[in-house]
Amino acid sequence: MLRAAYIVILGATVSISMYFRHKAWRVAGAIPRRAEPRPLILARIVFGLPLWAAVLLYAIQPRWMGWAEVGLPAWLRWTGAAVGGATVPFLYWVLRSLGTNISETILTKERQTLVTHGPYRWIRHPLYSGACVGLAALSLIAANWFMGLMTVFAMGMLPLMVRREEEHLRARFGFHYEEYVARTGRFVPRLLGPRVPETHGANDA
């Protein structure tokens, strides 16, 4: 049952992502990964590829990842299933809100618009937040320490990647983006109210 839940959550997530990304590609095109800075490309390879390989290998045949299995109580694994299931409609909401702004890179598209509705009303990078929660949930379902460790590493890389992404957004949208930053949180909603925006001057990859 737990493996079935894992496959359903992963399959739904990938299907929703590919559907919206394909629509965005057809309308607004795509920016090739090679256009990103080389250190970021290297980081994606070092952390992203092993993580997604582990996720897919467990879905295909759990015993292939048996070397990294840990003993977790059933209630904790089912909690992961519940949380993972909740990320599926959240992902749909995020990608639908992004529309044609969906990109595979931190760079902005030629016809990029500043998305401030849906979950972006409160969070600047809900796609990254949802992905991290979803991957952590899959790690719990699989009771796999390697998957969990790589998720932690990916989460640690996010602030560096997002900082570069927000530099491009500031360059593109100027003071409008500064105002947006002032009233939103980066990965979770801002709790202390808006800050004073700086005077100089999609959101997700």
Least confident of 8-22, 27-41, 82-96, 175-189: 27-41
- The first and second tokens of residue 104, run together, are 């595979």
* Domain that residue 85 falls in: 2-183
Whether residue 200 lies inside any domain: the answer is no
Domain count, the chain: 1
Whether residue 52 lies inside any domain: the answer is yes
Whether residue 199 lies inside any domain: the answer is no
Whether residue 23 lies inside any domain: the answer is yes
Q: Looking at residue 28, which CATH number applies to its domain?
A: 1.20.120.1630
Q: What angle do CA 35, 41, 31 make, to 5 degrees?
A: 30
Whether residue 205 lies inside any domain: the answer is no
Residue 195: per-residue pLDDT: 65
Residue 203: per-residue pLDDT: 52
Give first-to-last CA distance, the chain, whole Å: 33
Distance, in Å, from the CA atom of 205 to the CA atom of 188, rounded to the nearest integer, reads: 17
Whether residue 203 lies inside any domain: the answer is no
Whether residue 188 lies inside any domain: the answer is no
Query: What is the three-class DSSP state of 142?
Result: helix
Whether residue 34 lies inside any domain: the answer is yes
Residue 57: burial class (beta carbons within 10 Å; 0-12, 13-18, 19+): middle
Distance, in Å, from the CA atom of 141 to the CA atom of 70, rounded to the nearest integer, reads: 11
What tens digit of pLDDT does each residue of 58-67 get? 999 999 999 9
CA atoms within 13 A on the CB side of 67: 3
Q: Please tell me the pTM assigned to this model.
A: 0.89
Of the two residues 112 and 90, the one the predictor is more confident about is: 90
Query: What is the three-class DSSP state of 172?
Result: helix
